A = this chain, B = another copy of it.
């Protein structure tokens, strides 16, 4: 029989009414002749409530204890869903991460799945049961409870799908798929029927808050098709799958991000090791550095520019100031008034025309491009925060994304 892994996010199980709706969807999936393993997140804001409880006692909760505390949120929602299914006459059982055999390393709050022992799940499926797995958590070889950090429940679901040989991992949240651009910015944005892993990764990393890159990557490695759909309606959603790199020769979508700030070190002597001496301390301080651009060196003097989340700017400046001085930079310029816009598509690598069209469109709209960075299937520009909406709309129209090819 076909195994389908489903994953329901926090909003999807946020109330008794929503849990009943999820149960109905699971039953429908089973009644189509599938074996169902559903992974759930914690209900609504319950994880935040637990963190608040911990913070009321200590400003620096012990990581091990915090993980055990956090893990209870998903256990609660999984049991509630399982008892609802039983109430509706379908045999079901909830499994904690430990019971589901999800083994992780011991990095509290950001554990990595090392392996899954699928024995218990297979036995329960064999008994005809629907399996509800508490997402976001696992257990170490030493019986310590861990949580998987950002994108954790998505990762649980994709990893289970891979280990169980599931046909598909269906991920239900309150958004009904991947769009050509954020529909709040571009009302004509179109839901994509499908997208390949690489494009999804670029979209996810560059501002489209659909799915954490970590889970997409896992799907890519194990070739698990991931359906992104809404638990609130029956729209068909978007299927993330392998595709072929040259299958579609066009732009899939436009990502944008407003939580960006730019830092530039002016006139740094261009010698080996500069990048490391800047970015290692940032990493140690836990600050994610995003786009990095180093201009061509003129007389062994260069400018180094990079972006961080705007919320991290003050801390980033604290870290960078003494380093810039040491390196002999003439100045540091911080600019919080920055936004990021990217076009993403597998066609980009084979068609230089896309880049030209992007720059032309922005120029015609009178939008100044502050910085350009590219990957094989993405072109990113930094522009004024205030012009981001306009830029996304103009690009969406220029690339005719509202119409299917």
- A residues in contact (CB < 8 Å) with B: 16, 19-20, 50, 53-54, 56-62, 64-66, 68-69, 71-72, 75-76, 78-80, 82-84, 86-87, 93-94, 96, 98-99, 120, 143, 145
Contacts and interface: CB of A to CB of B under 8 A. Distances in A.
B79 A69 contact: yes
Instruction: Find the residue from A54, A60, A62, A120 having the highest chain B CB count within 10 A.
Output: A62
A68 B94 contact: yes
A62 B76 contact: no
A53 B65 contact: no
Nearest to A19: B57
23 contacts: A20-B57, A54-B79, A57-B84, A57-B87, A58-B83, A60-B87, A61-B87, A62-B83, A62-B86, A65-B80, A65-B82, A65-B83, A65-B94, A66-B79, A66-B83, A68-B94, A69-B75, A69-B76, A72-B75, A72-B76, A96-B145, A98-B98, A99-B143
Given A68-B75, A69-B79, A98-B98, 16 more contacts: A16-B53, A16-B57, A20-B57, A53-B76, A54-B79, A57-B87, A59-B87, A61-B83, A64-B93, A65-B79, A65-B80, A65-B83, A68-B78, A69-B80, A72-B75, A120-B143
A127 to B, nearest CB: 13
Contacts of A82: 62, 65
B83 A96 contact: no
A384 to B, nearest CB: 44
B98 A143 contact: yes
Contacts of A143: 98-99, 120
Contacts of A57: 16, 19-20, 80, 83-84, 87
Counted per complex, copies of this chain come to: 2
A311 to B, nearest CB: 26
A91 to B, nearest CB: 10
Contacts of A62: 82-83, 86-87
Contacts of A93: 64-65
Given A65-B82, A83-B62, A16 B76 contact: no
Nearest to A88: B58
Contacts of A65: 79-80, 82-83, 86, 93-94
Given A16-B57, A19-B57, A60-B87, A96 B68 contact: yes
A58 B86 contact: yes
A61 B84 CA distance: 8
A54 B94 CA distance: 14
